[in-house]
Amino acid sequence: MHHPIPPERYFPYLTWCDIEAMPDPANVVLVQPLGAVEQHGPHLPLGVDAAISTYVLAQALQSLEATVPAYGLPPLYYGKSNEHLHFPGTITLSAQTLLAVLMEVGDSLYRAGFRKWVLMNGHGGQPQVLDIAARDLHQRYPDFLVFPLFTWNVPNQAASLLSAQEQALGIHAGDAETSVMLAILPEQVRMAQAIKEYPPGLPEGLLSLEGALPFAWTTRDLSRSGVVGDAIAATPEKGEQILDSLAQGWTQVIREIHGFRQPSPA
């Protein structure tokens, strides 16, 4: 069940007695990997987002010193993926269902005495839902510290390994994701079917696919193949470098969350 998370850091392997006996559960860091089951072009499997988050978390926990109590929760594979519904195989939750799941898991963790929960999201279609869950849980329980974080937002080497065009437009199943999958699950990558496809006719000016001034889109608006980026450029060597740097960033984040205290006015 635990693979690839270290077994001693895998939350479902604990007993209720283990949890009851924890000396300071309020400062235990629980990390929830989140992903999606959605199309990732003709060359990648449906479970890319959860796989990358889980492997990054596993490597981070392996590097984390034993004095920092932290556990990985089972990955939540289903997410809000309706932007990919026009491609076969995509399974999506509604925003309301995903929000309800997160709220109820959060309620359960709080009742057990935990106060630090990290939502480690690997799917770009749902950060807003996680933001709402985190804020609502903290409003409900003022001492519950919930961190809605994106797997790729920690310091990492990806940008230095990608072309300028890929950095600007490679948002799905492109060089970075394909490279990491070649490093972690190479037998599931079909490089003979890898594609380079960027969206045509994007507006020039301030509007963009993502970022500060985005517009709404579905994947079929941008791509025939489901790829938005250059998967052909991917290599396992780049994937290893990206994975290692992401894991280092997450090790530091978990350390900081362990030591984090909620700010309060004087």
For the sheet containing 116-121, what is the strand order? Answer: 70-72, 29-34, 116-121, 145-150
| Sequence-distant (≥ 6) Cβ neighbours of residue 222 within 8 angstroms | 199, 209, 228
Fold entry, domain 25-259: Rossmann fold (3.40.50)
What residues pair up with 119 in beta bridges, in sequence order? 32, 148
Question: Treating both helix axes as pointing N-terminal to C-terminal, what angle do 95-111 and 127-140 enclose, rounded to 10 degrees?
Answer: 40
Q: Look up the pTM and report it.
A: 0.97
| pLDDT for residue 26 | 98
Contact 1, 89 (CB under 8 A): no
DSSP string, 131-166: HHHHHHHHHHSTT-EEEEEEGGGSS-SHHHHS-HHH
Q: In angstroms, rounded to a whole number, what is the distance separating the alpha carbons of residues 133 and 48? A: 23
Q: What is the pLDDT of residue 211?
A: 86
CA distance 171 to 166: 8
Here the tokens at position 23 are 């000396």
Q: What does the pLDDT read at residue 241?
A: 98
Instruction: Tell me the domain boundaries of the chain.
Output: 25-259
CB 117 within 8 A of CB 106: yes
Question: To 5 degrees, how large is the angle CA 53–CA 39–CA 47?
Answer: 30
Q: What is the 3-state secondary structure (H, E, C) of 208-227?
A: ECCCCCECCCCHHHHCCCCC
Decide if 102 contacts 119 (C-beta within 8 A): yes
Residues of the chain with pLDDT under 70: none
Phi, psi for 88 (deg, rounded to 5): -60, 145
Check residue 266 and give its pLDDT. 78
Is 226 in contact with 38 (CB distance < 8 Å)?
Answer: no
Give the pLDDT score at 35.
Answer: 98
pLDDT at 204: 86
